[in-house]
Each structure stands twice: as structure tokens, then as C-alpha cells.
């Protein structure tokens, strides 16, 4: 664990953030590893993001509509420090090992074998830091017959079973609209690293703040496969296949076997999601939409009976919502305590008072275009901790913004050595 010093990070109440004092080295690109380190950074860890000299993380240019750095990069690289380093060079390898020596966690999302080719295997990392924790995120994991295949989040969503269930039955499978596979894998990577850190702390003798045991390592490798992160979300998909002989298929917005739970049309091309599949809630919904006959129908008192008439119930609800505005529908649902919500787009979210009340929209000043700062809303920090909440302290840094601080300060490189490395394209 790194020392708590002058750059201590505290919350608004003056408390240390929960991960203050830990240092995380990000050797990643795109989304999966950066998402994991974003979570670390939100809660106070010092995250050093290593980027390629000259070009940086390709995410800097994804969905870039104005300016030089995308808002997507600013979102995922927030609270981090950026250094440039060519890991393919010998000096780059040496500097990376020096950074690892001073880090608690290293997170990467290259194809298996890449770190080994660069001389940065886990064994090499342990030679300089025996207690280091290495999180490895890849398409198919570090072992198995598919380990060498390239894999992005969309491919993982396909292999993990999600894409086959996404969309309508009479149309091709579709994606969910965000990089879900990458983000979920990053989240599992962060969870794995936290468990490894907890194990490391437990491995130390009580009262000892130094090493665990002389000569014994308390570090470990966390192996996260993108497809497995997706598969972990698939509930009883395979058990139902082997136990019932059922292969689940796309059902659109309907939740198969659970009724009523669907997306229903409202006036003005708006939509409401209504979930009334619990017995008592179903009865309240039927009374709320003026169908007491269905509320008291003996055949509909349990989900088993309702599932057999799922299409009929959806039609009844849709006829009621279809001649009302979304505000009228929501007013009735809220009054009757029915779980329901409007389908929001970005504009709806940006205007919603609950998002703001929960600090889920944080206004930050960012130069969308160079020299022209603007106030832009960015996603807030999740989860909410009552005593030591995380916070958004800074947006994604400029490429190599912290080279002098990290190389000159943390590693103690002389200005001449840094300039030579810079001229040689190493940093």
C-alpha cells in the first residue's frame, strides 16, 4: 500500500476516500481495463494510466464529434493520471517495472501472451514487487482452447449468450446499445482486485503493517474473460436447457414466463416499462386500470396462471396506456405503487430531478474544443457510501499530462534522462 502523503484525497467531509493510499497501474486500452481503473479512481486510488506516446488510448477519438478528445474518454479516464510510455522498448519495460514496483495493482486488457512478449509477465512483476496483484482481462481468459483468439465486448456478448436473447423473435439478434460486455468485465476485474487486496491485508500478521511473511508472496493473478463476465449475467440459461430441455430465445420486451412485465406504448411515441408480476402488485395494477374483473379472476392469482395468458394481459395493459400520455400513466402507477418507469433518452435523463438529487449528473468544466471550456454533465459515482463516498475530482487528463510528476517525482528520473527518453520515443 502506498503512503498517504501531501496529495491525500478526501471527500467533502474531510474523510479519506476508501481507496486512498493504493496505487493502480493501468496498462489498458479501450474500455474494459479503463472501466475497472475508473472505479478505483472514483474512490480515491491513485491510478496511473499508461498510454502510447503520440497517439494515446484510441478511446480519445471514439465518438469524437468536436474538439480533439472525446467525451467518452473524459468519462472513463476521470480522476486518473496519464503518462506516455512505449512498452515495446527495453527502457519502456524498465520504466513499467519501476512503476509496478510502486503499485499495489496492475490492470491490463491485452491478448494473452502480450505482456510476456514485452518482458512484463507476472513473474517479472513479482521480481520487483512480490505482493503485486495483476488483473488480466481478455476475450477468453488466459487458459483454454480459445485463449489466443482476439475478443472484444461485442463478441463476448455473442459467445456468452446475451446476444441470442436480445431483440425480437422475428428479427436478427441485436446489441444492447452500450459496451456492456467490456464494462461488466471491468467491474468483475475491480471486484477481484479488491478481494485480492483484502486477502493481502488478512495475510499480514496482526498489527504488522509491513510484508505478509518473510519470503512469502501475498499477491495473485485475477483472470477475467469477457465472455465469462457476460455469461455470469445469464441467470439459469444453461440449467433450464439441461434440466427442462428448453433453449431460451428472443422475446422482445416480454419477460418470458413472468407476467405481466413488458414495455407498453403511450401517446406521443413514448413508452412505459411496467412490472406487475408479483401477485399483490398485479391485483393493484388491474384495479388501477379499471379491470377489477381481472384482479379477482381466480386463474390469475398466481404467476403460473398469468404466464399462460401473458399476451392477453399485455394487450389489456397496452390498450389502457396507449390512449394516455406518459405523465398520466406514471401518475396512476405511482399512486398505485406499481413498479413502472418511462423509457428515457439522454435529454430525459439530463432534465430529470431525481438524477440531480442523487448527484448522478455532475456538472464539470471541460474544453470540448481547445480554449473553449463548457459546463457538461458527467455520470456520478456509484455506489453511494454513507461515510466515505467517492467523488469526481478531475476529468480525463491530457496525453502525458503527468509525465513530469510520475517519472520525475515518483521514479526520480533526472530531467536530462527524461528528455532523452522523450526524444527516443520511449515516453
Q: Which one is catalytic: 57, 131, 182, 314?
A: 182
Sign of the CA dihedral 404, 407, 412, 418?
A: negative
Q: Are 76 and 35 contacting, i.e. CB atoms less than 8 angstroms apart?
A: yes
Q: How far apart are CA 85 and CA 70, in angstroms?
A: 21
Cell of 387: 461515510
Q: How far apart are CA 291 and CA 272, in angstroms?
A: 19
Cell of 220: 495473485
Q: Are 266 and 321 contacting, i.e. CB atoms less than 8 angstroms apart?
A: yes
Instruction: Kindly give the pairing relationship between strand 361-369 and strand 270-275.
Output: unpaired
| Secondary structure E strands in 88-156 | 105-108, 133-138
- Active-site residue, 404 included: no
| CB within 8 Å of 343: residues ≥ 6 apart | 263, 270, 271, 272, 273
Q: How far apart are CA 238 and CA 360, in angstroms?
A: 36
Q: How far apart are CA 299 and CA 234, in angstroms?
A: 30
**If we measure between CA atoms, which residue out of 367, 405, 29 comes closest to residue 427?**
405
Neighbours of 331 (CB within 10 A): 12
Q: Which residues are designated catalytic?
A: 182
Amino acid at each position: 500500500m502506498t503512503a498517504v502523503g501531501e496529495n491525500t484525497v478526501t471527500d467533502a467531509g474531510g474523510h479519506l476516500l476508501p481507496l486512498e493510499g493504493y496505487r493502480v497501474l493501468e496498462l489498458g486500452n479501450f474500455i474494459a481495463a479503463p472501466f475497472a481503473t475508473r472505479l478505483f479512481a472514483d474512490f480515491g486510488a491513485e491510478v496511473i494510466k499508461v498510454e502510447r506516446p503520440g497517439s494515446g488510448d484510441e478511446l480519445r477519438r471514439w465518438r469524437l464529434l468536436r474538439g480533439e478528445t472525446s467525451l467518452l474518454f473524459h468519462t472513463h479516464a476521470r480522476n486518473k493520471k496519464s503518462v506516455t510510455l512505449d512498452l515495446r522498448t527495453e527502457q519502456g519495460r524498465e520504466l513499467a517495472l519501476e512503476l509496478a514496483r510502486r503499485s499495489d495493482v496492475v490492470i491490463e486488457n491485452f491478448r494473452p501472451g502480450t505482456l510476456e512478449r514485452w518482458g512484463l509477465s507476472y513473474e517479472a512483476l513479482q521480481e520487483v514487487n512480490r505482493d503485486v496483484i495483476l488483473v488480466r482481462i481478455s476475450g477468453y481468459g488466459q487458459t483454454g482452447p480459445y485463449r489466443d483468439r482476439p475478443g472484444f465486448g461485442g463478441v463476448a456478448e455473442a459467445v456468452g449468450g446475451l446476444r441470442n436473447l436480445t431483440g425480437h423473435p422475428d428479427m436478427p439478434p441485436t446489441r444492447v446499445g452500450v459496451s456492456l460486455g467490456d464494462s461488466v468485465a471491468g467491474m468483475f476485474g475491480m471486484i477481484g482486485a479488491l478481494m485480492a487486496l483484502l486477502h493481502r491485508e488478512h495475510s499480514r500478521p496482526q498489527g504488522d503493517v509491513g510484508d505478509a511473511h518473510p519470503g512469502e508472496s501475498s499477491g495473485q493473478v485475477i483472470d477475467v474473460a469477457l465472455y465469462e463476465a457476460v455469461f455470469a449475467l445469464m441467470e439459469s440459461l444453461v440449467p433450464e436447457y439441461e434440466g427442462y430441455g428448453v433453449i431460451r430465445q428472443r422475446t422482445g420486451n416480454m419477460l418470458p414466463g413472468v407476467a405481466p412485465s413488458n414495455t407498453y406504448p403511450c401517446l406521443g411515441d413514448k413508452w412505459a416499462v411496467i412490472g406487475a408480476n408479483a401477485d399483490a402488485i398485479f391485483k393493484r395494477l388491474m384495479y388501477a386500470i379499471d379491470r377489477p374483473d381481472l384482479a379477482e379472476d381466480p386463474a390469475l392469482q398466481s404467476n403460473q396462471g398469468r404466464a399462460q395468458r401473458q399476451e392477453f394481459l399485455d394487450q389489456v395493459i397496452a390498450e389502457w396506456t396507449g390512449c394516455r400520455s406518459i405523465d398520466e400513466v406514471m401518475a396512476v402507477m405511482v399512486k398505485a405503487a406499481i413498479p413502472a418507469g418511462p423509457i428515457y433518452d439522454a435529454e430525459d435523463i439530463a432534465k430529470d430531478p431525481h438524477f440531480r438529487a442523487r448527484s448522478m449528473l455532475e456538472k464539470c468544466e471541460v474544453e470540448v474544443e481547445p480554449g473553449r471550456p463548457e459546463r457538461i454533465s458527467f455520470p456520478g459515482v456509484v455506489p453511494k457510501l454513507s461515510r466515505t463516498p467517492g467523488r469526481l475530482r478531475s476529468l480525463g487528463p491530457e496525453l502525458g499530462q503527468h509525465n513530469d510528476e510520475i517519472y520525475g517525482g515518483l521514479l526520480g528520473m533526472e530531467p536530462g534522462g527524461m528528455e532523452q527518453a522523450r526524444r527516443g520515443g520511449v515516453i
